[in-house]
Amino acid sequence: MNSKGIPSMKRSLLPLVMLMLAMQGCMNQNIIEENDPAQIDEGNVKEQIEIWHTYSDEETRIFEKEVIPLFEEEFPDIDVKPVRQPHNEQLMSALISRASVNRTPDIIRMDITWLPKFADLKLLYPVSEFEDFDEVKERFYRPPLESNRYGEDYYGLPLNTNTKAAIFNKDTVEDLGLDQLPHTMDELLDVVEENQLTIGINDVSPWNSLPYFYGLGGKLLSPQYTQAAGYLDSKESIAAVERLVQLYENGNFPAEILKGYPQTWEKIRTGGYFMIDEGPWFYSVHSLLDIEVLKRQTVSAPFPSNEVYTSVLGGENAVITKGSQHREASWTFIKWLTTETPQKLLLTAGVLPTNTEVEMSSIVEQYPYYESYIESIDKTFLRPPVPQWNEINSIYTEYFRLMFSGELSAEEGLKKAAEEIDELLIHREDEEE
């Protein structure tokens, strides 16, 4: 031990230790000490939100490569993580399961028919609680906005919308010498029956048959969506189904609607069908060259109806999950998604805007096949926004198959369907009580 009390071995190590400490300080000179707030750079702190979506390939490319970067440029403090998911019932089950352990994403792009179930299970945050909601909601077409309402609250914003237009074979229209396309259901069926033509529908599910059922005066549920008896089995509904079955038996609907895919897209182009009803994707999924061919082969118009409404409303809503820890950032993002610029970007992939402020004249000029859809948005009808919709959809489809096949009369089939649907609705009311 030397005169200063430091062992000679330790004294010999001091220069090496000092050198190592100095090197470590140089290597870590950008590390900020947590207990030194003066050095924290708030500008580098980002809040990350995660959105699950079901966009198609081209829609995903635009959403992830163009839309999100534009948002992050405008809101540099928010980082958006997109996760593409398949659109199927497994996704619904997975989301419900994850919600039970609080592992949902912050935002979900959700089919409009799913929202009532998720809201009923209390898995969504009511966006109508945000202070500026009343101001934001004024930008939307009414039917897409109302698809977000459950009870007294709104649980999302309408991100994109769609409906079905009537698409006619142009050669057949010209051969018949029609001065104008059928505007009402009566006009359509008169032309079809007089000339023994065929309307191509894919099947008898609500998405495909409700526009015809409603157009002929049929009813599904009460105005408050609480009861089927007295509506689905009413005289008007029975008459509507009998007319539809008669059309099917006469060959005015394809036999394949009960057996398999009736090739609607192919046969409307070749003249095998006089008319089909289809969404804007009938045109938008094709190449520009093929779209030009389609425009020479077909002509579209709003779906003919005897009612105020034309065809069924489709689309997706952007919702914020109840378990999100980033509600304000999520609200900022979904509000922005419904503004003009992102809505116009996604329109190029066939995603129709919900924002009434989006200039439609330029859109129709560039994409004339959208005109019939845009004209129809304000006249669409919602499928009943109830949590039991999936089950009601199955009951309706099954009994329509039985009635079309002749196994049940319209009166028998609708009465049984109404009874089964009411069991679902009444059971739900009992649970709530």
pLDDT over 60 at 33, yes or no: no
263's torsion region: left (phi>0), alpha (psi -120 to 50) or beta? left
DSSP state of 398: H
Residue range 58-79: average pLDDT? 97
Q: How much is the pLDDT for 45?
A: 80
Provide the β-strand partners of residue 109. Answer: 318
Is there a contact between 300 and 167 (Cβ–Cβ < 8 Å)? yes
Element (H, E) at 98: helix 89-100
Q: How much is the pLDDT for 426?
A: 85
Q: How much is the pLDDT for 306?
A: 83
Q: How much is the pLDDT for 429?
A: 53
Query: In a 10 Å sphere around its CB, with 0-12 CB exposed, 13-18 middle and 19+ buried, how is residue 296 labelled?
Result: exposed
Q: Closest Cα to residue 334, out of 188, 125, 170?
A: 125
Residue range 318-347: average pLDDT? 96
Report the C-alpha gap between 349 and 264 in whole angstroms: 22
Name the more confident of 309 and 165. 165
Lowest pLDDT segment from 41-50, 292-301, 401-410: 41-50
Is residue 427 very low, low, confident or very high in pLDDT (cuts 50, 70, 90)? low
Q: How much is the pLDDT for 364?
A: 84
Is residue 26 very low, low, confident or very high in pLDDT (cuts 50, 70, 90)? very low
Report the C-alpha gap between 167 and 372 in whole angstroms: 9
Kindly give, in sequence order, each residue whose CB lies less than 8 Å from that of residue 391, ignoring residues fewer than 6 positions away.
424
Residue range 210-233: average pLDDT? 97
271's torsion region: left (phi>0), alpha (psi -120 to 50) or beta? left
pLDDT in tens, 117-139: 999 999 999 999 999 999 999 99
Is residue 309 very low, low, confident or very high in pLDDT (cuts 50, 70, 90)? confident
Q: What is the largest CA-CA distance in the chain?
A: 121
pLDDT over 80 at 74, yes or no: yes
pLDDT over 60 at 371, yes or no: yes
Kindly give, in sequence order, each residue whose CB lies less than 8 Å from that of residue 257, ignoring residues fewer than 6 positions away.
201, 202, 203, 204, 208, 248, 404
Q: Give the mean pLDDT of the chain.
A: 88
In the chain, the N- to C-terminal Cα span, in Å, equals 87
Kindly give, in sequence order, each residue whose CB lies less than 8 Å from that of residue 309, ignoring residues fewer than 6 positions away.
214, 379, 380, 381
Element (H, E) at 413: helix 410-432
Is residue 101 very low, low, confident or very high in pLDDT (cuts 50, 70, 90)? confident
In angstroms and rounded to an integer, the radius of gyration of the C-alpha atoms of the chain is 29
Residue range 363-391: average pLDDT? 92
pLDDT in tens, 265-306: 999 999 999 999 999 999 988 888 999 999 999 999 999 998
Report the C-alpha gap between 322 and 71 in whole angstroms: 23
Is residue 248 very low, low, confident or very high in pLDDT (cuts 50, 70, 90)? very high
Name the more confident of 286 and 385. 385
Report the C-alpha gap between 383 and 147 in whole angstroms: 9
pLDDT over 70 at 46, yes or no: yes
Kindly give, in sequence order, each residue whose CB lies less than 8 Å from that of residue 239, ignoring residues fewer than 6 positions away.
216, 217
Residue range 79-84: average pLDDT? 98
Residue range 402-420: average pLDDT? 98
Percentage, residues of the chain above pLDDT 70 = 88
